[in-house]
Structure 1
Amino acid sequence: MRLPDDSETPFQINIVPMIDAIFAILAFFIISTLYLTRSEGLPVNLPTATTAESQLQDRIITITIQENRAIFINREPIELSQLEARVESLVTANSQVLVIINADENVPHGRVVSVMDRLRLVEGIRLAIATQ
């Protein structure tokens, strides 16, 4: 009796599914890094400045002034009269805190100055104005 010859087919490793998986992981990491940028304030149209410098500080408090004159401290709405007390509660003793003012470019200059005037009454903070 004659048995048919089983021609052994060589084993192959199909790398196409592995390439698909690697590209899926790569796409995940690329998309997730887009969300790593940290925006402290609310989105506003910041004015541009050619002499702007980046400020590095451990403790940062962000104050946002929107176009409709609404004030936010670290994304929480607040009234101008309560601003000084709230910032004082966030500042710890013997620490330097940087307060960044994100004011929309259409906010009246007087509103920004009144916010800065309130903040200058708080001891132990430095003021900065955000620009693009």
Structure 2
Amino acid sequence: MRIFENDDPPAQVNIVPAIDMIFAILTYFIMASLFLTRAEGLPVNLPQAQNAESQTNRQSIIAIDANGNLAFDRETVTLEELPDRVSAKVNGGSLIVAIAADEAVDYGRVVAVMDSLRGIEGVRLGISTKQQ
């Protein structure tokens, strides 16, 4: 008669904690990459400029798409609402407002946006372009 002294079950590798850790790391990188892209609210095809400069100051973006639709800091607005929204954001300080207009947008629409913002105290206007 044979007597087995070792009645322990065979060793197993549990990979569930490793899978949980991999999914947690993957989730972190996906969420972090979402904040790396800069969206202005509307799809805009910016014109190119050789002498474009980056701005790091406090700024907001007004996007004007090819159809003339406006978005201020990713929220759709009308031309009549725009001065009130911008002056609420300035709140007594200073603010650079970059106008990101599509190449196909009518020049008159850009001038109308600039004209509506010119009277607001503390606002400096800029034009967004792509660097070549």
Q: Same-fold call, TM > 0.5?
A: yes
Are residue 70 (structure 1) and residue 61 (structure 2) matched?
A: no
What's the secondary structure of 1:23's corresponding residue? Answer: helix
What is the 5 A alignment of 1:79-98?
A: 79=79, 81-93=80-92, 95-98=93-96
Match of 1:114 in 2: 112
Which amino acid counterpart does residue 30 of structure 1 have in structure 2?
F
Match of 1:51 in 2: 51
Deviations 1:20-57, CA, capped at 9 Å, x for gaps: 22322222122112222342432222223333222122
What's the secondary structure of 2:48's corresponding residue? Answer: coil
Identify the range of structure 1 (96-105 vs 15-24) with the bigger mean alpha-carbon deviation.
15-24
Question: Partners in 2 of 1:50 and 1:10 — Cα distance?
Answer: 71
What stretches of structure 2 of length at least 5 have no aligned partner? none
Deviations 1:50-100, CA, capped at 9 Å, x for gaps: 332221223x33212121112232313212x4433442333222x111111
When the two structures are superposed, what TM-score results if normalisation uses the length of structure 1?
0.75
Question: Partners in 1 of 2:82 and 2:6 — Cα distance?
Answer: 84
The 1:88/1:32 distance shift into structure 2, 3 A limit, reads closer
Q: How much does 1:111 deviate?
A: 1.8
Match of 1:21 in 2: 20
What's the secondary structure of 1:4's corresponding residue? Answer: coil
Deviating above 6 A after TM superposition, structure 1's stretches of 4 or more consecutive aligned residues are: none
Question: Partners in 2 of 1:82 and 1:29 — Cα distance?
Answer: 37
Q: How much does 1:107 deviate?
A: 0.6
Paired residues in the alignment total 128
What's the secondary structure of 1:51's corresponding residue? Answer: coil
- The RMSD of aligned alpha carbons is 2.7
Match of 1:30 in 2: 29
The answer (yes or no) to whether the contact 1:41–1:102 under 8 Å persists in 2 is no
Which amino acid counterpart does residue 100 of structure 2 have in structure 1?
N
The answer (yes or no) to whether the contact 2:40–2:71 under 8 Å persists in 1 is no
Question: Partners in 1 of 2:122 and 2:14 — Cα distance?
Answer: 60
